[in-house]
Amino acid sequence: MNGDVDLPSRGYLGVDVGSVSTNLVVITADGRVLTKLYLRTVGRPIQVLQEGLRQLDKVLPPIFEVLGAGTTGSARQLAGVIVGADVVKNEITAHAVAALHEVPGVRTVLEIGGQDSKIIILRQGIVTDFAMNSVCAAGTGSFLDQQAGRLGIPIEDFGDLALNARSPVRIAGRCTVFAESDMIHKQQLGHSVEDIIAGLSDALVRNYLNNVGKGKSIHSPVVFQGGVAANAGIRQAFEEELGLEVKVPEHYNVMGAIGAAILAQEQVGSSGLTNFRGFELADFHCAAGSFECPDCPNHCEVIEIQIDGEVVARWGSRCHKWEIVS
């Protein structure tokens, strides 16, 4: 929450549900972040989403009115059905919208999250190119968490240690297996932890630029967002490799949710009509399941969402026979 005495009583909700984190943001009508939550998904997107709504309800002013809700992330469709979203958008659109809001005129967005990474190229406020990498774990937040744990260093200190390096070592960063074995080898040779972490940062940035950023025209202003943007060592490595200033927005780790909230505001407009189910949804029994349709050789897997025993949505059949959109 911010420190205002008179907090707004209306706003827009943005939700970004990914494999690693579930982020919720409430923004005011003028685009200020009123409150935000960064929660671990831990394989339970519905329950964590409900817990997020429960926490928001506690910190927001009494009788807070949500004017519109938007969802994004890998589980955006599921989250959209659960919360009653007015707009459901992909991560590229949501992150681009948020970056433009935080840094007007941005031309390149570097985004590295827990399990994937992406690059977005914008020209005159329009996405002209993008690339995603959800296959290779090298350079993602989960890999950095793993290495921090192996070294016995809090992940919060990882980036700052890299900045203290005197002579960064060369780490093979094209694969997580090679990177980890190379780090162990450098430790055995007696290199300092700071130099090894700095070398890892450099390697991960090279991997990102050679894979996700390959062939992309990277120009300033450059914005770095996603959970890994908290790592000062990675940011410095990007600046040295690109020869450009790299900006990290204040709310770098919840930018997808901010974008979803802005898109919800645009979708609802001045009508004041929203599909948001309310914060009381946190106390409902929500469940997701699936079944195989036997009616033709396609054998489509149909996803089914229930709230308090009532089927509110189905999707997944090619012929749309089973489709229900709440």
pLDDT class of 133 with cuts at 50, 70, 90 = confident
Which DSSP letter does residue 168 get? P
pLDDT class of 203 with cuts at 50, 70, 90 = confident
Q: Which CATH class is domain 104-248?
A: alpha beta
Pairing verdict, β 65-72 and 10-17: parallel
pTM: 0.84
Residue of 260, 270, 267 whose CA lies nearest to 23: 260
Q: Do domains 10-97+257-283 and 104-248 have the same CATH topology?
A: yes
pLDDT of residue 287: 85
Q: Which CATH class is domain 10-97+257-283?
A: alpha beta
- The alpha-helical segments, DSSP class H, found in the chain are 45-59, 76-83, 91-102, 141-151, 155-163, 176-188, 193-211, 232-242, 255-268
Domain spans in the chain, listed from the N-terminal domain onward: 10-97+257-283, 104-248, 286-315
Integer Cα distance of 161 and 231 in angstroms = 10
Could you read off the pLDDT of 263-307 as tens digits, one per residue? 999 999 867 789 999 999 888 888 888 889 888 888 889 888 888
Pairing verdict, β 87-88 and 65-72: parallel
Integer Cα distance of 27 and 35 in angstroms = 7
pLDDT of residue 2: 47
Could you read off the pLDDT of 32-86 as tens digits, one per residue? 999 999 998 888 999 999 999 999 999 998 889 999 999 999 899 999 999 999 9
Residue of 208, 274, 193, 269 whose CA lies nearest to 238: 208
